[in-house]
């Protein structure tokens, strides 16, 4: 067997450790005490290197598009604006393949409220299960489209947000969304969420 055939499986093995450091890794560096620790769900990091030598640090250019934080009150919304009409065109080109025509169906789930089939529950979508309109913008800008997250301009994100709010009957189709108008939209599900006011740790709202 050539060295190349030996190197490849070892490389894959180490890569798996990178992805699943526990409990797989813990059970592989075993002695009696380690076996006990693994059974208890405790990882012995003493035997693991700090790095496996894969990957590279993200550059500022890669981080900047994703380094956003739009809060429920609208803090963090950027300049720009958009309309549902423009958003419909963008949605058809970049989103419908995953979320269906008009935001209904698709392999990654619906985004628009529809009437459920007899005997079926209403599907949780933006229109009935999303607490803040501002965080629709945040999510789209941060994570969409799935194949190129962070690639949309602010205007495209405002337009897609406007389109999805309009499709969910929460915004007039002629309305213009921007940093001033978007925070004023009150989502139907907002009253169903309770702020986490616990202290002495990360505060989540």
Q: Is the peptide bond before 145 cis (omega within 30 degrees of 0)?
A: yes
The contacts of residue 160 (CB under 8 Å, 6+ apart) are 82, 87, 90, 91, 95, 140, 144, 152
Closest CA to 125 of 138, 106, 142: 106
Contact 115, 40 (CB under 8 A): no
Q: What is the pLDDT of residue 16?
A: 40
Q: pLDDT at residue 151 above 70?
A: yes
The contacts of residue 18 (CB under 8 Å, 6+ apart) are 52, 54
Per-residue pLDDT tens over the stretch 161-197: 999 999 999 999 999 999 999 999 999 999 998 877 7
* 3 state SS of 55: coil
Instruction: Count H helices and E strands in the chain, helices first.
Output: 9, 2
Q: What is the pLDDT of residue 203?
A: 65
Q: What is the pLDDT of residue 34?
A: 56
CA angle 15, 16, 18 (to 5 degrees): 65
Rounded CA separation 124/116 (Å): 11
pLDDT band for 205, please (50, 70, 90 cuts). low
User: Residue range 72-76: average pLDDT?
Assistant: 95
Put simply, whether the predicted model's pTM sits higher than 0.85 gets the answer no
Of 19 and 134, the structure prediction assigns the larger pLDDT to 134
Per-residue pLDDT tens over the stretch 1-47: 444 443 344 444 444 444 444 444 433 444 455 556 556 666 666 77
Q: What is the pLDDT of residue 88?
A: 98
Q: What is the pLDDT of residue 108?
A: 94
- DSSP states of 1-35: --HHHHHHHHHHHHHHHHH-TTTHHHHHS--HHHH
Q: pLDDT at residue 101 above 70?
A: yes
User: Residue range 115-139: average pLDDT?
Assistant: 93
Q: What is the pLDDT of residue 132?
A: 96
pLDDT band for 53, please (50, 70, 90 cuts). confident
| Range from 23-27, 53-57, 120-124, 150-154 carrying the lowest mean pLDDT | 23-27
Rounded CA separation 59/151 (Å): 16
Domains parsed from the chain with CATH numbers: 79-190 (1.10.760.10)
E-strand ranges in the chain read 81-83, 176-178
């Amino acid at each position: 067997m050539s060295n190349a055939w030996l190197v490849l499986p070892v490389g894959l093995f180490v890569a798996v450790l990178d992805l699943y450091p526990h409990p797989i890794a813990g059970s592989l560096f075993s002695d009696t005490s380690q076996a006990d620790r693994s059974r208890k769900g405790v990882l012995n990091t003493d035997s693991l290197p700090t790095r496996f030598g894969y990957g590279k640090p993200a550059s500022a250019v890669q981080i900047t598009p994703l380094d956003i934080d739009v809060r429920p009150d609208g803090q963090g919304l950027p300049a720009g604006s958009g309309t549902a009409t423009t958003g419909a065109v963008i949605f058809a080109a970049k989103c419908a393949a995953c979320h269906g025509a008009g935001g209904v169906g698709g392999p990654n789930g619906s985004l628009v409220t529809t009437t459920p089939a007899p005997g079926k529950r209403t599907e949780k979508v933006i229109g009935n299960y999303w607490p803040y309109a501002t965080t629709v913008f945040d999510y789209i800008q941060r994570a969409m489209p799935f194949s190129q997250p962070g690639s949309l301009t602010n205007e495209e994100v405002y337009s897609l947000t406007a389109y999805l709010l309009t499709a969910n009957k929460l915004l007039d189709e002629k309305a213009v969304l921007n940093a001033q108008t978007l925070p004023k939209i009150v989502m139907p599900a907002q009253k169903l969420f309770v702020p986490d006011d616990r202290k002495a740790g990360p505060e989540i709202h």
